[in-house]
A and B are shown apart, each in its own frame.
Chain A
Amino acid sequence: MRLNVIKTYKLYVGGKFIRSESGYTIERHSKDGEFLGHACKGSRKDLRDAVKAARSAQAGWAGKTAYNRGQILYRIGEMLEARSEEFAELMHAESGASLEECLKEVETAVDRCVYYAGWTDKLDSVIGTVNPVAGPFFGFSVPEPTGVVGIVADPSTALIGMLSQVLPVISTGNTCVVLPADDYPLTASEFGEILSTSDVPGGVVNILGGVQEPLNPHLAKHMDVNAISLSNAAADTEDLYVSEGAENLKRIRSGEADWMQPDAHSLSEIQKFVETKSVWHPVEA
């Protein structure tokens, strides 16, 4: 019998798969006790590096055409669909949920990619406005990305929660740093592989790994993070982000959600991570 090759799971930062600078890892086993691999344990330094990567990538990503971003989001769905069985197997091993349930979760994730891919070049038409100001001026308002978003991944799901948080954020040109759920670091790392083969520019989505709790205060306090996405988070986690995040007025998305529902997606998820810019120009008399 052939000896199989076990994958080394890594962090995904700035478009590269890297080990944590801390050198720490967490041993991961399936529910049956089978060894799955080591998850890198992201450190504070990794977090800072990831924010830097996200900030560097933000203007370029926001500067792409909406059509281009839409195609790239769709491409994430294509990659996920192509690898759905492989993905479901890893999720099955990591979460203990049945293979059938895991496959269903991947399919829902693919459909979510398709949904948000379609929003990129429609958002401005739907929520942008021409403002009928009472004077000789032409005025309009457009949505713009908020900037760098910290995503504290949904703790209750391996893939669909995290993906449902990431997609609306990046659809408009934000970039993000993801703290994966404590129970699913390998699935998160694997998702990095999907992104790296989907034409998503390096740094647009950065995925750490390990344990959320020690990184939460540092993400909450980071002055170059503009917004935070929480999902099904503990009340004290939300309190932490609200009080520490106030220092640079981080916008915060929170709340409970059942991301497996086919319609657990919406325009309002996108709107939580955009700013409105209003523009005025005189009209010649």
Chain B
Amino acid sequence: MANLQEKPTSSSRPKLNFGSKWDYAPAPESTAVVDIAPEYGQFIAGEFVPPSSGQTFETINPATEEVLSRVARGCQADVDKAVTAARAAYEGTWSKISAPDRGKYLYRIARLIQDRSREFAVLESMDGGKPIKESRDVDIPLVAQHFFYHAGWADKLEYAFPNQTVSSLGVAGQIIPWNFPLLMAAWKIAPALACGNTVVLKPAETTPLTALLLAKVIQEADLPPGVVNVVTGDGEAGAALASHPGLDKVAFTGSTEVGKAIRRSAKTRNVTLELGGKAANIIFEDAPIDQAVEGIINGIYFNQGHVCCAGSRLLVQESVHDEVVQKLSDRIATLRVGDPLDKNTDIGAINSREQYDRICSLVEAGKAEGAEFHQSDVPVPGKGFFFAPAYFTGVAQSHRIAQEEIFGPVLSIMTFRTPDEAVAKANNTKYGLSAGIWTDKGSRIFKMLSKMNAGVVWANTFNKFDPSSPFGGYKESGWGREGGAQGLGAYLEVK
């Protein structure tokens, strides 16, 4: 039915201005709670040890570009040591202690993380640039929950695989990204340990500090030495770990390109990958539009858009396109960009200069290919890497900004007329990590969700995570799941 009400257009009413009219007093979270050492070694066999090469590298605060600390640059020799330590721990202690005791260690770690949660949150925001309200209210609580959840699985694994026998694999090499540094460490370490494996973790080059603090917590928890090892470094350390012959398992979260290389170079065939995405967020005309706009905001601007499952392709039913875009435009004008440690900040710092440049280059490609660029004129700090929330309209399926991961706060908006067209456009990607559906019609939700080639489908919500909900991709978004009973399969041999 035609909507006879006149829709608001940008020309028919005054432009809302939030960015410069409303001043917010600064509300920075104190950094007194963190104690950053000038230099960090690697965590191998329960001790912090200097790198074999003697080399270190800087880790900076992307919001200020100031150096926070120097971290060991791991190389092949360090990876060898860490794998040897993990093997010794697997054979010497971890495979011998009882399953309930494995669980108790994980419960301990969960509790210690909760005890130090503010410290973790502040450190995460300093090293990675994410707003404190996200690290404090999303990342760190999920980290603790992830350990707590998996602790309980340790002595119940056989319930997850009815009528089959399960056994641990051995040593797992785990390589994680910079967008959710500690959360990804938890997603990797907690299930691996619950299933009886030992691990060597390689945190991302730009965000090693919370993984090193986690190593300290693991020391406090008195976990047997070598059960968890942390080797810091760049791609060289990552490649050395991924292809190490001493591993029984490789788990990687990161880009699709690196994921494919890891699959090829891994000596073990047991590889799980959680890779890129270009999720469709589909808004039907009968959706509660105001809620949907909040879902769009959460879908693409959460964590500066550094989210593999971000709702980066907005598919709006043609009849509500103008209304949705107007509301989105109004809404992003209210998003505050700036100091990640400020409790009012909505969008923090882009994680690194490299990522900032990549976002800019894809934005330029979008403009060059003919899409129309819109960006909030909210003021951004002069120092550090910041990118005001933005979106493209008039995007075609073939545009790079519709096919490639921008991994930043930039949304690509397209339209559709029928549900079938929405399905075809949503699935027109090599990725298959997530999708969003907004409609008031229950039967349509079920039809749509069954047709999405995606590992996670959010209906009338977006970007929700829980350790009990398996997460992972279809197609080139990877394989294997993290979380839930299904996620345990990544760290067990099931017969």
Q: How far, in whole Å, are A247 and B471 apart by their CA atoms in the complex? A: 22
Q: Known: A129-B486, A277-B457, A280-B461. Is A248-B476 also a contact (CB below 8 A)?
A: yes
Size class of the B contact interface (CB-based, 8 Å): 35 or more
**A-B pair number, CB within 8 angstroms:** 103
By beta carbon, the residue of chain B nearest A223 is B430
Q: Mark B456-470, 1 if CB is under 8 A from A, else 0.
A: 111111001010111
Whether B163 contacts A267 by the Cβ 8 Å rule is: yes
Size class of the A contact interface (CB-based, 8 Å): 35 or more
Stretch at the interface among A81-89, A133-141, A210-218: A133-141
Q: How far, in whole Å, are A146 and B475 apart by their CA atoms in the complex? A: 8
Q: How far, in whole Å, are A80 and B494 apart by their CA atoms in the complex? A: 32
Whether A133 contacts B456 by the Cβ 8 Å rule is: no
Q: Mark A120-148, 1 if CB is under 8 A from B, else 0.
A: 00000011010111110101010010100
Partner of B459 from A133, A226, A266, A281 at Cβ < 8 Å: A281
By beta carbon, the residue of chain B nearest A140 is B469
For A127, A131, A243, the residue with the greatest tally of chain B CB atoms inside 10 Å of its CB is: A131
Partner of B461 from A127, A137, A226, A252 at Cβ < 8 Å: A137
Q: Known: A141-B484, A281-B459. Is A248-B475 also a contact (CB below 8 A)?
A: yes
**A134: which B residues are within 8 A, CB to CB?**
145, 466, 468
Whether A247 contacts B464 by the Cβ 8 Å rule is: no
Whether A279 contacts B481 by the Cβ 8 Å rule is: no
Q: Known: A276-B481, A277-B454. Is A268-B494 also a contact (CB below 8 A)?
A: yes
Stretch at the interface among B258-266, B315-323, B353-361, B402-410: B258-266
Whether B469 contacts A246 by the Cβ 8 Å rule is: no
Asked if B445 CB lies within 8 Å of chain A CBs, one says yes
Chosen A-B contacts, 10 in total, with CB atoms closer than 8 Å, are A133-B469, A137-B461, A139-B469, A246-B263, A249-B476, A251-B479, A266-B164, A276-B486, A280-B458, A281-B445
Asked if B277 CB lies within 8 Å of chain A CBs, one says no
**A131: which B residues are within 8 A, CB to CB?**
466, 468-470, 484
By beta carbon, the residue of chain A nearest B457 is A279
Kindly list 5 other residue pairs between chains A and B, CB separation below 8 angstroms, not including A133-B464, A277-B455, A281-B460.
A277-B454, A278-B470, A279-B459, A281-B461, A282-B460
List which B434-468 residues lie within 8 A (CB) of chain A.
Answer: 445, 449-450, 452, 454-461, 464, 466, 468
Q: B interface vs A, CB < 8 Å?
A: 145, 162-164, 256, 259-260, 263-264, 269, 273, 275, 430, 445, 449-450, 452, 454-461, 464, 466, 468-472, 474-476, 478-479, 481, 484-486, 489, 494-495
Partner of A277 from B256, B260, B456 at Cβ < 8 Å: B456
Partner of A141 from B259, B273, B464, B469 at Cβ < 8 Å: B469
Whether A276 contacts B464 by the Cβ 8 Å rule is: no
Whether B479 contacts A126 by the Cβ 8 Å rule is: no
Q: How far, in whole Å, are A139 and B456 apart by their CA atoms in the complex? A: 10
Q: Mark A100-137, 1 if CB is under 8 A from B, else 0.
A: 00000000000000000000000000110101111101
Q: Mark A242-285, 1 if CB is under 8 A from B, else 0.
A: 11001111011010000000000011100100011111111000
Q: How far, in whole Å, are A58 and B486 apart by their CA atoms in the complex? A: 24
Whether A126 contacts B162 by the Cβ 8 Å rule is: yes
Q: How far, in whole Å, are A126 and B485 apart by their CA atoms in the complex? A: 12
Partner of A280 from B455, B469, B472, B479 at Cβ < 8 Å: B469
Whether B145 contacts A278 by the Cβ 8 Å rule is: no
For B273, B455, B471, the residue with the greatest tally of chain A CB atoms inside 10 Å of its CB is: B455
Task: Give, as a whole number of angstroms, the nearest-CB distance from B482 to chain A.
Answer: 10
By beta carbon, the residue of chain A nearest B463 is A280
Q: How far, in whole Å, are A268 and B489 apart by their CA atoms in the complex? A: 11
10 tightest Cβ-Cβ pairs between the two chains A and B: A133-B466, A246-B263, A131-B469, A281-B459, A131-B468, A246-B260, A278-B456, A276-B486, A276-B470, A280-B458
Q: How far, in whole Å, are A271 and B162 apart by their CA atoms in the complex? A: 13
Q: How far, in whole Å, are A249 and B472 apart by their CA atoms in the complex? A: 13
Whether B461 contacts A282 by the Cβ 8 Å rule is: yes
Q: How far, in whole Å, are A217 and B91 apart by their CA atoms in the complex? A: 40
**B450: which A residues are within 8 A, CB to CB?**
144
Whether B455 contacts A133 by the Cβ 8 Å rule is: no
**B454: which A residues are within 8 A, CB to CB?**
277
Task: Give, as a whole number of angstroms, the nearest-CB distance from A141 to chain B.
Answer: 5
**A135: which B residues are within 8 A, CB to CB?**
464, 466
**A271: which B residues are within 8 A, CB to CB?**
489
Whether A249 contacts B479 by the Cβ 8 Å rule is: yes
**B164: which A residues are within 8 A, CB to CB?**
266-268
